[in-house]
Amino acid sequence: MDMTSSDTSPDTASATTAQPLVSQELDEGVNPEVNADPTGFDHLFGELVNLPKDANSEAFRSAIQVARQYFRTRRNFNLMVCEQLAMRAITPTTALVLEIGKWGSKAHVASDVEDWRTQLANRLDTAQAKIPEAVRKQANDLLESIWNLAAQVTASPLKAAAERMEALQRDLIRTTQESQSHQATISQLEAEIQRLHLQTTQHQATIDSQRQKYETLAADKLAEAAHLNQTIQSLHQTVADLQREVIERTESLRDQHAHETADLLKRLEDSQTQHIQLANQLQSVQAAHDQRLQDVQESGASRLDRLQSDLREALALAARSTEDADLARRTVASETEAKTLLRIQLAKLQQKVDDLTAQPSEALRNTETLPMGPSDPPPIAPAP
């Protein structure tokens, strides 16, 4: 039966490209590729020779599955399974062949087992030679002679084939061991790759998390910096406005202060002028008093002494007023105090002058005052 039939297993898709060893065409004697793959024959022969003795072992079933790749059809493969079971004194049954071979449905495997039984019956019938009893001994002797001769002729090729088979088996074992070693190495490398991939994934997750945190922090910092920059600009604008206002107020105060200082200096000059006039008037009054005192010396000596004392005090008060005026000039910044002090001093000075003016009049009235001459000083005007 061909692989294109419904009995073909999908697990043997790769076996379709392998060179056939046993096939339906070979059974019919028309397969032109029977010797096309001697390596495949050696491999199959090695697999069948090295099959474990225990048909129930897992190693036996695995070896059967390995040998399956050298069969093109299910029928030949199942016939081989029946032969191997029979060689181990186990009767091939449909269930057992299906369990071990695992190729084909139950009906097809039953048909293959039945074919094997038919072939076995034919082989057993053919094994019985149709030779009369009278000549059977001579025939057996002749057959033994031919067999010994054939064994001698084929001994050398069989020995070389056996040695080659042993070498191939050793190569197969070594290749299998190397393959297992390579497989172990590949498994270790795959485990290492998986571990590195896991670490890379973890590192990438950590990097992504850190990047997200950094981007969030950077956005917060940028927003904070923008807000801070806006606040700084607002503060700069406020400071500029305050500086402008301070400059304007300073200029205004400077102008006002200069104006008030000029006015105060002018008033101080006027006050000094008045002080000078008052001093001149006091001198004139003193001279008049001296003249009058000489006239009334006999009758009002004591009063004249008091008058002189009052005059001295007035002169001292005038001197202090002059000093206060100088002090007021030096302390221009305190305009209010200077004005108040100047008014007080002027008031005191005016009071003294009024007192001095009143005292000579009273003294003259009490001592029969002499008439005033043209040298008498004019009356003192009150201070502003």
pLDDT (tens digit, 9 = 90+) per residue, 31-75? 333 333 444 555 666 667 678 888 889 999 999 998 898 899 999
Q: Are residues 179 and 282 in the same domain?
A: no
CA-based end-to-end distance of the chain: 151
Residues 278 and 183 in one domain: no
Does residue 235 fall inside a structural domain? no
Query: How high is the pLDDT of residue 95?
Result: 95
The tens digit of pLDDT for each residue in 362-383 reads 655 665 554 554 445 555 555 5
Section 324-330 average pLDDT: 75
Same domain, 292 and 170: no
**Using one digit for the tens of pLDDT, what is the confidence trace for 105-120?**
999 999 999 999 999 9
* Alpha-carbon distances, residue 227 vs 220, 221, 233 (angstroms): 10, 10, 10
User: Is 104 within 8 Å of 7 (Cβ atoms)?
Assistant: yes
- Cα–Cα distance measured from residue 88 to residue 93, given in angstroms and rounded to the nearest whole number: 14
Name which of 134, 158, 138 is nearest 146 in CA terms: 138
Inter-CA distances, 165 with 43, 80, 139, Å: 9, 20, 35
Q: Would you say the C-alpha torsion 304, 305, 309, 315 has a positive or negative sign?
A: positive
In a domain, 371, yes or no: no
User: How much is the pLDDT for 83?
Assistant: 92
Using the 3D structure, point to which of 144, 170, 187 is the last residue of a domain: 187
Domain of residue 281, residue span = 257-366
Q: What is the average pLDDT score of the chain?
A: 76
> Domain check: are 165 and 279 in the same one?
no
The answer on 163 and 45 residing in a single domain is yes
User: Which of 341 and 92 is assigned the larger pLDDT?
Assistant: 92
* Count of Cβ atoms closer than 10 Å to residue 93 Cβ: 14
Q: How many other CB atoms are there within 10 angstroms of residue 82's CB atom?
A: 26
* Higher per-residue pLDDT: 162 or 144: 144
Query: Residue 361: its pLDDT value, please?
Result: 62
Q: Is residue 198 part of a domain?
A: no
- Please report whether residue 61 resides in a domain: yes
Locate tokens 């005292």: which residue?
359
Residue pair 78/101 in contact by the 8 Å Cβ criterion? yes
Per-residue model confidence (pLDDT) at position 101:
93
> Does 379 fall in a domain?
no
Please check whether residues 181 and 283 belong to one and the same domain. Answer: no
The structure tokens 């099959």 sit at 51
The model's pTM: 0.30
Chain segment 233-287, per-residue pLDDT in tens? 888 888 788 888 878 888 888 888 888 888 888 888 888 888 888 888 888 888 8
| Dist. CA 14–CA 323, nearest whole Å | 133
Co-location of 144 and 267 in the same domain: no
Domain membership flag for residue 50: yes
Does a structural domain hold residue 202?
no
**Amino acid at the residue 231:** T
**229 assigned to some structural domain:** no
> Both 164 and 284 in a single domain?
no
* Per-residue pLDDT, 335: 72
Residue 371 is classified by DSSP as P
Domain count, the chain: 2
| Residue ranges of E strands in 7-118 | none
